[in-house]
């Protein structure tokens, strides 16, 4: 089952130009089985999500991208943003209470060196990134980000392997052209957010580059 785990719509995400209906139509045309709306620090209400599902006969899932002091975290299972979630430990506590799950978004940001004089410097940057305080709480790393370069996504892949975590794929869509670049392949069928959370915790998935049709990482 192919699911885009990372997408933004307007106006809930101010930096997106995507209408929710347009993104669903494009996702269906791209061959996806579902898409997750992960707005910046804003949670979709379940009624609106269910209306979109019914309108398009397509699985739309709700998540949220939380901006923490230690990076952005894709979060599933919470129903509201609460002040204090910018601290990863507090976010993790709230997610645990909600029986949710967290995934590190675009982990290459502010971590990957653009210029490394040698392999030792690159490895040192990976080690430093692996010690990000927020990552002790995540079930997976976003290995393939549709807006990331090959070099950036390679850093995420290497980091995932170093940390021995599963990897996900998401377009991080902000424009219609972003849809259909990549997704996460799940080995089991998913019908709602609770099943998505269980699947993310189980680790049986991997990112797929839909532009090439190839899995970019190893199975969880």
pLDDT tens for each residue of the chain, 220 residues long:
999 999 999 877 777 778 899 999 999 999 999 999 999 999 999 999 999 999 999 999 999 999 999 999 999 999 999 999 999 999 999 999 999 999 999 999 888 876 566 788 899 999 999 999 999 999 999 999 999 999 999 999 999 999 999 999 999 998 888 999 999 999 999 999 999 999 999 999 999 999 887 776 555 5
Specify if 220 maps to a domain.
Answer: no
Q: 33: how many CB neighbours lie within 10 A of its CB?
A: 17
What is the H or E stretch that residue 24 is in?
A: helix 20-29
Look at residue 56 and tell me if it is in a domain: yes
Domain assignment of residue 171, yes or no: yes
Domain harbouring 168, CATH code:
3.20.20.140
Task: Give the number of domains in the chain.
Answer: 1
Claim: this prediction has a pTM higher than 0.85:
yes
Range of the domain at 89: 2-215
Query: 9 in a domain, yes or no?
Result: yes
d(CA 169, CA 213) in angstroms, rounded, equals 13
On whether residue 209 sits in a domain, the answer given is yes
| Predicted local confidence at residue 175, as pLDDT | 87
What pLDDT does residue 106 have? 97
Strand partners, 102: 75
């Amino acid at each position: 089952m192919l699911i885009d785990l990372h997408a933004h719509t307007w106006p809930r995400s101010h930096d997106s130009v995507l209408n929710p209906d347009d993104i669903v139509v494009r996702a269906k045309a791209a061959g996806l089985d579902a898409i997750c709306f992960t707005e910046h620090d804003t949670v979709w209400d379940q009624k609106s999500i269910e209306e979109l599902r019914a309108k398009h006969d397509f699985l739309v899932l709700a998540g949220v991208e939380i901006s923490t002091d230690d990076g952005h975290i894709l979060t599933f299972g919470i129903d509201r943003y609460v002040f204090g979630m910018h601290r990863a430990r507090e976010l993790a506590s709230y997610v645990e209470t909600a029986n949710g799950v967290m995934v590190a978004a675009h982990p290459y940001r502010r971590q990957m060196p653009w210029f490394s004089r040698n392999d030792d410097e690159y490895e040192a940057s990976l080690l430093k990134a692996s010690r990000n305080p927020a990552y002790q709480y995540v079930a997976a790393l976003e290995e393939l980000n549709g807006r990331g370069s090959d070099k950036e996504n390679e850093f995420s892949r290497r980091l995932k392997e170093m940390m021995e975590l599963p990897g996900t794929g998401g377009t991080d869509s902000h424009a219609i052209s972003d849809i259909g670049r990549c997704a996460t392949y799940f080995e089991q069928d998913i019908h709602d957010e609770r099943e998505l959370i269980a699947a993310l915790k189980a680790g049986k998935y991997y990112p797929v580059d839909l532009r090439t049709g190839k899995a970019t990482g190893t199975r969880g």
